Amino acid sequence: MTIPLGLVVTLLCMFGGFAAMGGKISVIWQPWEYVIILGASIGTFIVANPMKTIKDSGTGLIEAMKNTVPKKEDYLVILTCLFSLIRELKSKSRAEVEKHIDNPSESAIFTAYPRVLNDEKILTFVCDYFRLILMGNARTHEIEALMDEEIATMRGDKLKCYHSLVAMSEGLPALGIVAAVLGVIKAMSALDQPPEVLGAYIGAALVGTFAGIFFSYAVVTPIATQVKIVREKQMRQYIVIKQTLLALMNGAMPQIAVEHGRKAISAADRPSVDELENATLATGNAGAAGGAEKKAA
């Protein structure tokens, strides 16, 4: 909700300051100047980007508005799911673990964590690298290099909408000048009019320059920055998974492996050691109870 709040503060300060200086707000209201600037900007945005990026930009804007980023609870779910998989890998045969990886929708582990199961990209990332670990032939540094490459590729895809919005914001001041020039052309065609009419035309033309700079630096650029922040935070989940799996490949026990992942989380969203321990203990107790029931049956 910070985007609407920031825009409200910006508009109040700008229009309030202008009115306090004795300016008339009605002078700034030049709808056709705004149509020229924003219409041309949106048109060039469509020309410069494939449809996939255009659609993703809409998704990115919605995510930025809603601040759709992983919370502490989301990280806890991911780490606990990884803990369960690693514990299964340490205690069960390869064939038993492969059942979870090959068919996650029917896996008792994944179905216990809908947050992971319903996120196709995270689920695929986890399953792909667990499958490589199960094969047993890949070295740790090779897996790490592969993870880094995939994460960099996903990050590049995630930030395409950010770069397209930045390009759009950089073009807005120039489009404002275009609108201003068109306004001046209109004013020049009315040189036979009284000074007050001609002055109104010139003032309207200058609104184009103001609007282009305003929309660039006070609207589109801050929103693009927020889109980038949200997308970067979303990518942090893959870093957490990466660190956990690398610790596993280096021989760490399940609790130590997920601790490696926990340390990769930003301090503001990082669950405490006790919170993670309680979550994994609850998983361990549930698994032990399930095993006892199975033996009794």
Q: Which residues have C-beta within 8 Å of that of residue 260, sequence separation ≥ 6?
A: 243, 244, 246, 247, 252
Flag whether 13 is in a domain: no
Six-digit token pair at 143?
Answer: 């897996």
pLDDT, greater one: 247 or 18: 247
The C-alpha atoms of residue 271 and residue 276 are separated, in whole angstroms, by: 6
* Mean pLDDT (whole number) for 64-83: 94
Identify the three-state secondary structure at position 215.
helix
Give the pLDDT band (50/70/90) at residue 85: very high
The C-alpha atoms of residue 281 and residue 269 are separated, in whole angstroms, by: 21
Q: Using an 8 Å Cβ cutoff, are 30 and 202 in contact?
A: no
Closest CA to 122 of 157, 95, 86, 82: 82
Flag whether 4 is in a domain: no
Can you state the percent helix, strand and coil of the chain, rounding each to 5? 85, 0, 15
Flag whether 150 is in a domain: yes
pTM metric for this prediction: 0.86
Q: Using an 8 Å Cβ cutoff, are 107 and 99 in contact?
A: yes
Q: Domain range for residue 70?
A: 31-290
Flag whether 10 is in a domain: no
Q: Using an 8 Å Cβ cutoff, are 227 and 60 in contact?
A: yes
> What's the total number of domains in the chain?
1
The C-alpha atoms of residue 154 and residue 163 are separated, in whole angstroms, by: 14
Q: Using an 8 Å Cβ cutoff, are 279 and 79 in contact?
A: yes
Flag whether 115 is in a domain: yes
Give the pLDDT band (50/70/90) at residue 197: confident
- Indicate the burial class of 50 (C-beta count within 10 angstroms; 0-12, 13-18, 19 or more): exposed
Flag whether 295 is in a domain: no
pLDDT of residue 287: 46
Flag whether 36 is in a domain: yes
SS (H, E, C) 95-136: HHHHHHHHCHHHCHHHHCCHHHHCCHHHHHHHHHHHHHHHHC
> pLDDT tens across 263-295, in order?
999 999 999 999 999 988 877 554 433 343 333
> pLDDT tens across 50-70, in order?
999 999 999 999 999 999 999
Flag whether 24 is in a domain: no
Six-digit token pair at 296?
Answer: 């009794």
